[in-house]
Each structure stands twice: as structure tokens, then as C-alpha cells.
Amino acid sequence: MAKYGACLDKIAIPMSTIREQLEALEDETLAPQAARSRASKGRLRQETPDPIRPNFQRDRDRVIHSKAFRRLKHKTQVFFAPEGDHYRTRLTHTLEVSQIARSIAKVLRLNEELTEAIALGHDLGHPPFGHAGERVIDKLVPGGFSHHEQSLRIVDVLENDRQGLNLSWEVRDGIARHSKGKHGLPVGAPPEHRASTIEGQIARVADIIAYVNHDIDDAVRAGVLDTRDLPQSAVAVLGGSSSQRINSMVTDVVTETLGGALTEIRMSDLVLQATLELREFLFRAVYENPRATAEFDKAAGLLGGLWDKLRQKPDQFLDQATIESEGLDAAVRDFLAGMTDRYAVALFEDLFVPRSWSV
């Protein structure tokens, strides 16, 4: 077989050779437990393989080029529409998750592209106004709402003019099972709540490592927290700065997982407990702090108002195909959950706030 890219200018090598060589490279370089691009369980609809990119790499690219991915830029992580330039948004959160997940996958010789595709896609379905928005929409939608289900719906159905992104099974599985919540475990979840691939498990633990640390950083930036308030027992284990804590957690995940022969993603009890302690502290001190969440009460009223108003004007705003196939509730949910914070505010103003007359 010709070497990768050799003689491209002289003869027409079948381009599929490049993908096949990259797939073969996975066999040579990845750990036996890693997911293999060519062994994917496939897509919802069969497609001709890409001539140069293996499956998971192609999936990663599709996520980045999606509209839902770009909207993450204007969705809240913790602080609503922060004026400072250095606060996280849902997009920069996603990028930090992806960085941490890839670091872990690379050193464990697992499939980096699969890990990255899952990490970049995990929050695509997050509604406006962060966790507060999710709680509100969960109450509004009959049958409830969760962002990880909506992320899967976006990649399967809504993106690409309702064609979906047609991602590989392994990426969809990782996105659907990344959810963590207040009581979810970063590692050691029961099999039914755990991604089927070890790469999907990495995305889940990376999500928690990312948000626990960057949300502390943003809360300090916002004056909601003082680092001296952090539980000292957790600081003693993990370190005093964000970078020290991320490093402690990532190193622990890598060494514990290798120690367990890569059967699943692991953390030591000591680091896991310290991480959970920090997360519980964050819920108390930041996510449920009345000062940090004051604006979100207004967001709840805004989303509730839009929920009612949009139902009265289905022809104007909602996707008719969804109304016909799945009903009005599904169509309003999709529209509401897809909004950025600023779009929701602008639409509310448009629909509820009288405009001054101008000639």
C-alpha cells in the first residue's frame, strides 16, 4: 500500500486509501479497549464512507459545523449574559470539556476523535438560561425535559433542516448518556446510565472536571465566592488553584483507569470524594445562591410567557412538520430549548412589550 499521501501528484490513488490507512493506524496505535472507527455500529441511515476521514472524525466535524453548536456561544453557563469578557458561556464550557476529554483519551491511547465528538456535542440541547432554564422547561413540557435527550434529538432530527447529522451510534450513545446532574456520579455509574464506550465515559467525567473548576473560577470573578470559602478538605486533596485541581483530577483518572486495566473510567475514592464535595459546595454556594440566580427568576417568567404565546401562534414560529408528527408541545419545546438567551429576551420583548409608535 502506498504511503500516506505519497505520489498524490503523480497517480490517482483511490482516495479511500487515506481513510483506510488512518483506520489501520488506529489498530497500530490505540489500546485494545479503544473504540475503532471502522468497527462502528453505524449510522441511522447508511452513508458512503468519507474518502479521507474515518467515521468519528467526520462526526466531530459535523457537530462543529452545526447551527446548534454556534448557538452555544450565547447560552448561559452559570452567569446570565455576563458583561465581563472572561466568563464562560456554554460554548467555552464545551471547549474546556473537549480539551480535558481529549487529554485523557490521548494518554490512555483511546479514540480521541470519538471522545471529542461526544464532548463537543454533549450540551447541544442545553436550553437558554443554564440550569434554571432547564428546570423551567422541564416543568412546562408535559413529560419533562432534559438537555441530554434534547442534544440527541438535535443531532438525530433537528439539525440540517430536519435531516439530522446522522452521527455514528457510539457518538449518539455518548451524548445521550453524558448526563450528570446534582446527584449523578462522574465515574462508576450503573451500566444502564453509563456510555457503552470508554470514550463516552471520558466525556462524562471531563464534563464534571470542567464545570466544577471553571464555575468556581467564574463565581470568584463574579464576587459570589471567595476561594477561602472552598471546603478545605477538598482543597487539601486537589490543590488551591483551578489548574492544580484539574491536573489532580485528570492525573487521578488516568492512573486509576490504567490501574484498572482500562475496563472502565475510574477515580480513586479520595479524589472522587473531594470532587463531589466541591460540587455539593458549588450547588449550595453558587447554583442555588439567590444572588447569583436573581435574574433567573425573571428568566422563568419569560420562558413561561413564551411557552404560552408560541402555542397561540404556531404558524408563525413553530416547525409544522413537528406539529403534524409529534404535536404542539414537541414543537414549542424544540423552539424554546433551541433559543439563545438573547434571542429569548428579544422575542419576549417583541411579543410582550409594546413598541412606541413611529412613522
Nearest to 279 by CA among 334, 339, 238: 238
Please state, in angstroms and as integers, the Cα–Cα distance from residue 200 to each residue in 7, 115, 178, 353, following that order: 38, 6, 7, 45
Point out which span in 34-42, 115-123, 263-271, 335-343 binds Mg ion (CB under 5 A).
Answer: 115-123
- Contact code string over 179-208 relative to Mg ion, x by CB under 5 A: ----------------------------x-
Q: Which stretch binds Mg ion (CB under 5 A): 121-129, 255-263, 297-305, 323-331?
A: 121-129
Asked if 173 touches Mg ion (CB under 5 A), the answer is: no
Closest contact distance (angstroms) between CB of 292 and Mg ion is: 18
Nearest to Mg ion of 134, 207 (CB atom): 207
CB of 90 to Mg ion, least distance (A): 8
Interface stretch with Mg ion, choices 53-61, 122-130, 241-249, 311-319 (CB under 5 A): 122-130
123 touches Mg ion by CB under 5 A: yes
Residues 242, 129: Cα–Cα separation, whole Å: 24
Name the residue nearer to Mg ion (CB basis): 123 or 159. Answer: 123
Q: Return the number of other C-beta atoms located less than 10 Å from residue 60's C-beta.
A: 24
The sign of the dihedral angle between the CA atoms of 114, 254, 107, 33 is negative
Crossing angle of helices 90-107 and 198-221, rounded to 10°: 130
Of 123 and 134, nearer to Mg ion (C-beta) is: 123
Closer CB to Mg ion, residue 199 or residue 207? 207
Identity of the residue, 14 or 181, whose beta carbon is nearer to Mg ion in the bound complex: 181
Q: Which residues contact 279 (CB under 8 A, 6 or more apart)?
A: 182, 208, 212
- By three-state DSSP, how is residue 89 classified? strand
Q: Tell me the number of residues near Mg ion by CB under 5 A.
A: 2
CB of 356 to Mg ion, least distance (A): 41
Q: Which is nearer to Mg ion, 123 or 215 (CB)?
A: 123
**Residue 187 phi/psi, 5° resolution?**
-135, 160
In the chain, how many H helices and how many E strands? 18, 0
DSSP 357: P
In the complex, which residues of this chain contact Mg ion (CB under 5 A)? 123, 207
